[in-house]
Amino acid sequence: MDTQRRNLAKLLSLGALFPGQAAYSLNTILESIDTDSNSDISKQLLQDLGKKGIEKLFKKAVVYDGLIISRNWDENSFQALAKSGYTGFNASVDSGNLKKALKNLNHWQQIIKDNPDRLLLTKSTNDIITAKKEDKVAVMLGFQSSRMLEQSIENLDTLYEAGMRWMQLTYNSRNFIGDGSTERTNAGLSDYGLEVVERMNELGIIIDLSHCGKQTTNDGIAFSKSPVSINHSMCEALHKNHPRSKTDEQIRAMADKGGIIGIICLGYMIGPNLGTDTTLETYVDHIDHAVKIGGIDNVGVAADFAVQGLEATGATRENWYVPRLTRFKPSYKVQWPPWIPELDKPDRYLQVAKILDKRGYSTGDIEKILGQNWIRFNKEVLKS
């Protein structure tokens, strides 16, 4: 009984059940406690305490997703959101052209207005903090394309006034700003693209480079006066020759200017052999590598699908995989099924937090990766 009390006192004194207070991972704390066959506390019990500690940490943390596909939002989306632990997310809004983009921004703002007890429109970092305090979810509206600019710099102002706070410079193919990740050529930013970057900096619109080609990514980092985001991507060092991955040099350059990379949860983006060599552990390998190259303050998380996951939204081989064989070039290496099971559920980042703890990340560093890094980044870029 004395051994039991000593072990409990040691565990609690290190702050394992009060995340953010100790500079140790919960797993490291548990491993530091000696147990033997005569102890009244088994290792299993200690592991259970550690599990509760991670759950406490997760509940306390700001959890921010770098990219959620927000089309067809319905009550199922809200139910998944309630299970997710999210504090906020970047919503990918349909673009197409200016008229469609403005209509969809308005549609999303109406969803937020109709659900004031559950959602909060995000135009500044303070909105994310407020959402956490009020047990709501902050939604930052933006686009994975710049087509809706219709070659007009002035339309950036129009979209900003309508609520847009982030924009990807290109999707996979070339546009008037620069080349996308699967374009045959590798041109960087055009003169018009440089004007777009400059105006986005002035307005306080986040520049995203996730789908940009290599030179466009390099130019976006180099010419932006503000930090840039790569809000849903992965490390080229771990998944080589994928057009959507970012090199160590790009991750380092992005981080040196205060940017952030959100590691994408979409399984086939993480590795070539889903279900065997590519697992939840592989996902955290990408986080590990990005932290090693870019630093602990410049890495976050990102889904790139609906909150509830792909399988829950009815993705099948016929309606999801087959169309992508023609929409994307072979270099995209699309697989079926495309998901890592633990990440295709609303509580995906709780599972990530458990692995981060297992690998020895401190509670503070886990909180940074889950969402605090997005808070830091947004504070530097957003003007309002």
Contacts of 330 (CB under 8 A, 6+ apart): none
Q: What pLDDT, on the 0 to 100 scale, is given for residue 32?
A: 52
Q: Does domain 63-381 have CATH number 2.60.40.420?
A: no
Q: Rounded to whole angstroms, how far apart are CA atoms 145 and 92?
A: 10
- pLDDT bucket at 31, cuts 50 / 70 / 90: low
Mean pLDDT of the chain: 90
**Statement: residue 6 has pLDDT above 90:** no
Q: What is the pLDDT of residues 258-268, one digit of tens each?
A: 999 999 999 99
Whether this prediction's pTM lies above 0.75 is answered by yes
């590519």: which residue's tokens? Answer: 278
Distance between CA 23 and CA 89 in Å, rounded?
27
Residue pair 325/334 in contact (Cβ under 8 Å)? The answer is: yes
Per domain, the residue ranges of the chain are: 2-51, 63-381
Query: Exposed, middle or buried by CB within 10 Å (0-12, 13-18, 19+), for 255?
Result: buried
Closest CA to 110 of 93, 90, 85: 93
Asked, as a colleague might, if the bond just before 337 is cis with ω within 30 of 0, I would say yes
The CB density around residue 299, as the number of other CB atoms within 10 Å, is 25
Question: What average pLDDT score do residues 207-211 get?
Answer: 98
Give me 143's structure tokens: 């686009």
Question: Which distant-in-sequence residues (6+ apart) come within 8 Å of 114 by Cβ?
Answer: none
Distance from the first to the final alpha carbon of the chain: 57
User: CA 205, 210, 214: angle at the middle one, nearest 5?
Assistant: 115
Report the alpha-carbon distance of residue 195 to residue 179 in Å, rounded. 16
Q: What is the pLDDT of residues 271-303, one digit of tens each?
A: 988 878 899 999 999 999 999 999 999 999 999
**Which pLDDT band, with edges at 50, 70 and 90, does 217 fall under?**
very high
Q: State residue 147's pLDDT score.
A: 95
pLDDT in tens, 366-380: 999 999 999 999 999
Largest separation between any pair of C-alpha atoms in the chain: 75
pLDDT bin (cut points 50, 70, 90) of residue 112 is: very high
> At 257, is the pLDDT very low, low, confident or very high (cuts 50, 70, 90)?
very high
Q: What is the pLDDT of residue 274?
A: 86
pLDDT tens across 137-190, in order?
Answer: 999 999 999 999 999 999 999 999 999 999 999 999 999 999 999 999 999 999
